[in-house]
Structure 1
Amino acid sequence: LVLPDRDGLEVLNRVRQLDRQVPVLIMTAHGSVASAVGAIKAGAYDYIVKPLDLDDLQSKLARAVETRRLRAEVARLERSVGERYGAAAMVAVSPAMREVVRQIAALADTDATVLVQGESGTGKELVARALHADGRRRGGPFVAVNCGAFAETLLESELFGHEKGAFTGATALRKGAFERAHGGTLFLDEVGNAPPLVQVKLLRVLEEREITRVGGQTTLPVDVRLVSASNRDLEDLVAAGEFRADLLYRLQVVTLRLPPLRERREDIRPLADRFIAQACEAHGRAIAAVEPEVYAALEAYEWPGNVRQLRNVLEAAVVMATHPTLRAADLRLSEPRRSAAEKWSLPEGWTLADVEKEALLQTLRRHEGNRTLAAERLGVSRRTIQRKIREYELPF
Structure 2
Amino acid sequence: MLLKDASILIVDDDPDVLTAARLLLKSQAKEVMTEKNPENLRSLFLKKDFDLVLMDMNFNSTINTGNEGLYWLRKIRELGSKASIIMITAYGDIDLAVRSLKEGASDFMLKPWQNDQLIQNVKDLLKKRTVKSVQQVNTSGSGLLGQSEAILDVLKKIEKIAPTDANILILGENGTGKDLAAHAIHQQSLRAGRPFIKTDVGSLTESLFESELFGHTKGAFTDAREERTGRFEAANGGTLFLDEIGNITLHQQARLLTVLQNRQVTKLGAHQPVPVDIRLICATNVPLEELADEKRFRKDLIYRINTVEIMLPPLRKRTGDIELLARHFVKQYGEKYFKPGLGLDKKSIEKLNQYHFPGNVRELQYAIERAVIMSDGESIQPADIVFSPIETRGAEITKTPDSINLNTLEKNAILLAIEKNKGNITKAAKELGLTRTALYRRLNKYDIE
Which one has more relative contact order, counting CA pairs under 8 Å at least 6 apart? 1
By how many angstroms is 1:218 displaced? Answer: 1.3
SS in 1 for 2:150: helix
SS in 2 for 1:145: strand
1:1-396 equivalence runs, <5 A: 18-20=69-71, 85=138, 90-334=144-388, 342-347=422-427, 349=430, 353-355=434-436, 358=439, 374=446, 377=447
Q: Deviations over 1:42-101 (max 9, x none)?
A: xxxxxxxxxxxxxxxxxxxxxxxxxxxxx979xxxxx9xx95559x99323111111001
Answer whether contact 2:331 2:342 (CA < 8 A) is retained: no
Q: Deviations over 1:323-362 (max 9, x none)?
A: 22111110012479999x9413423846884546655666
Answer whether contact 1:94 1:264 (CA < 8 A) is retained: yes
Q: Deviations over 1:242-297 (max 9, x none)?
A: 21110001111101101100000311111111111111222223353210011111
The amino acid across from 1:298 in the alignment is L
Equivalents in 1 of 2:435, 2:73: separation in Å? Answer: 72
SS in 2 for 1:182: coil
Equivalents in 2 of 1:90, 1:237: separation in Å? Answer: 25
By how many angstroms is 1:105 displaced? Answer: 0.4
The amino acid across from 1:105 in the alignment is E
Equivalents in 1 of 2:335, 2:322: separation in Å? Answer: 20
Change (3 A) 1:105 1:196: same
Aligned length: 307
By how many angstroms is 1:12 displaced? Answer: 9.2
Equivalents in 1 of 2:437, 2:221: separation in Å? Answer: 54
The percentage of aligned residue pairs carrying the same residue is 36
Change (3 A) 1:13 1:207: farther
Question: What's the counterpart of residue 46 of structure 1?
Answer: none
Answer whether contact 1:211 1:219 (CA < 8 A) is retained: yes
Answer whether contact 1:161 1:175 (CA < 8 A) is retained: yes
Answer whether contact 1:265 1:299 (CA < 8 A) is retained: no
SS in 2 for 1:115: strand
In structure 1, runs of 5+ residues without a counterpart are 1-8, 24-70, 74-78, 365-373, 380-396
Q: Which protein has the larger Cα radius of gyration, Structure 1 or Structure 2? A: 1
Equivalents in 2 of 1:363, 1:198: separation in Å? Answer: 34
By how many angstroms is 1:147 displaced? Answer: 1.4
User: Structure 1 length normalisation: TM-score?
Assistant: 0.68
What's the Cα RMSD here? 3.6
Equivalents in 1 of 2:209, 2:281: separation in Å? Answer: 17
Moved more, 238-247 or 99-108: 238-247
SS in 2 for 1:202: helix
SS in 2 for 1:121: coil
Equivalents in 1 of 2:205, 2:60: separation in Å? Answer: 55
Question: What's the counterpart of residue 4 of structure 1?
Answer: none
Change (3 A) 1:324 1:154: same
By how many angstroms is 1:181 displaced? Answer: 1.0
Change (3 A) 1:102 1:203: same
Change (3 A) 1:285 1:208: same
Answer whether contact 1:114 1:228 (CA < 8 A) is retained: yes
By how many angstroms is 1:143 displaced? Answer: 0.9
Equivalents in 1 of 2:283, 2:297: separation in Å? Answer: 14
In structure 2, runs of 5+ residues without a counterpart are 1-38, 40-57, 75-101, 105-131, 394-417
Answer whether contact 2:136 2:145 (CA < 8 A) is retained: no
Moved more, 123-132 or 276-285: 276-285
The amino acid across from 2:218 in the alignment is K
